[in-house]
Amino acid sequence: MYRELDNRTEKELAEYFQDRDYMVVAVPKDELIRVYSLRATRTVETARRLHHLEGRSAHTMGQAVMSALLLTSLVKHATEQKVLLKVETPCGVVAVEADGKGRVRGFIEGEPTDCMEDGTLMVVKELRLGTPYTSIVPLVGLDLKDSLSFYFEQSEQTRSYLDLYLSFDEEGKTLQASGYLVQVLTSVSQKSIEKVEENIKNLSLENKRPEEVATEILKGMEPRLIGLKEVEYYCPCNEDIAKASLLLLEEEELEDILREGPAEVVCKFCKRVYRFSRDQLML
């Protein structure tokens, strides 16, 4: 099933999603090219607020969140299959996971992009089919999007084009978080590749909705909408999961903790705090 990505469709998408975050998937009529275009402004702002980020840390987290969401192009749509993106350098770590339903969460420690020349990018695909598929590539360039492009070239062996756009106001709040991923599959004509490259060259993400970005990338190629996905920052942690993590500790270690008062677990992804008394842990 598909729908022509024309002015009417763009208007209906703008009315339906309004300020909500979402991703569109579009293709041209006659070529094996896929465009994933994303708006994640509220999602990135939620991550920034939960982790109390500002400046470069906020920018790094924002790029990682959008990158993980775009990487869900590698898993089945509307499923709980997941992609984990992890950037690790001597200066810090940022890890973000996203699933096929558009749910994403992450955490950051330190300033990982301050020394990218010595770091790695790891992508783990959890397809629920046994052992997860893991790929690790060195970080390249000065930005996460450069390393993500290198990942697609080396690990997925797919001609890809991508860009990420972030802007913040004077107080550090996220004003816009947008991005796109273009994948050129097999047997695409050189003429079509050149057309896409020319369209991308003239593209600006600023103040553009996902459907507008997809339309501009596929300009002159009869773009069609084949997928939609709302995205959000979502953490599934709960009291049972937190309690189970405590019960994995050695009994002596747990006793030492309880002597100081209730045992406390803080979720790395959403900063939610869980506290448990001895009675609650049934010790």
Lay out the sheet containing 120-126: strands in order across: 133-138, 120-126, 82-89, 92-99, 103-110, 232-233
Interval 112-135 mean pLDDT = 90
Question: For residue 47, is pLDDT > 60?
Answer: yes
Phi-psi region of 9 (alpha: psi -120 to 50; beta: other; left: phi over 0): alpha
**pTM metric for this prediction:** 0.94
Listed in order, strand segments (DSSP E) in the chain are 3-4, 22-27, 33-39, 82-89, 92-99, 103-110, 120-126, 133-138, 159-168, 174-184, 224-230, 232-233, 263-266, 273-276
Question: For residue 277, is pLDDT > 90?
Answer: no
Spatial CA neighbour of 164 closest among 40, 30, 34: 40
Question: For residue 1, is pLDDT > 80?
Answer: no
- Rounded to whole angstroms, the Cα distance separating 189 from 91 reads 43
**Mean pLDDT computed over every residue of the chain:** 94
Interval 156-168 mean pLDDT = 94
List of domains in the chain: 3-233 (3.55.30.10), 239-276 (no CATH)
Question: For residue 283, is pLDDT > 80?
Answer: no
Q: Say what the pLDDT of residue 95 is.
A: 98
Find the helix or strand (DSSP H, E) in which 8 lies.
Answer: helix 7-17
Query: pLDDT tens for residues 195-248?
Result: 999 999 999 999 999 999 999 999 999 999 999 999 999 999 999 999 999 989
Interval 107-113 mean pLDDT = 93
- Measured from the Cβ of residue 131, the count of other Cβ atoms closer than 10 Å reads 7
Question: For residue 20, is pLDDT > 80?
Answer: yes
